[in-house]
Amino acid sequence: MWRPREAEDAFDQCLTRLRQGETEEACLAALPHLASDLAPLLATASALWALAASTPNPAPALARIRARLLRLLQQHGDR
């Protein structure tokens, strides 16, 4: 019988295992009675982590913009 609390706990455990490098397939294989419920949730979590990992760091671009702005302000002040 499917129990919401069991599914929540299983999802939390799988998220922890995924963060530690385990595959979605291994998590689902360990919980076959919940696999059909967990599979779309784990796929979504994995996709979100991949998206977050691919988001560029804006700091270098902001540093270049700031440096250019300061140069332009300095040049303008020299006139």
pLDDT of res. 24: 93
Q: Tell which residue, 1, 2, 75, 40, has the closest CA to residue 14.
A: 40
Asked whether the predicted pLDDT for residue 1 surpasses 60, the reply is no
Supply the DSSP string of 40-73, one letter for each residue: HHHHHHHHHHHHHHHSPPSHHHHHHHHHHHHHHH
Name 41's Cβ contacts closer than 8 Å, sequence gap at least 6: 11
The whole-number pLDDT of residue 12 equals: 94
Average pLDDT over the chain, rounded to whole? 88
pLDDT-derived band at 53, boundaries 50, 70, 90 = confident
Number of residues written out for the chain:
79
Confidence check: pLDDT of 2 > 80: no
Residues 6 or more apart in contact with residue 78 via CB below 8 angstroms: none
Looking at 10-14, 18-22, 41-45, 47-51, which range is the least confident one? 47-51
Taking each helix axis from N to C end, the angle separating 4-19 and 35-54, rounded to the nearest 10 degrees, works out to 40
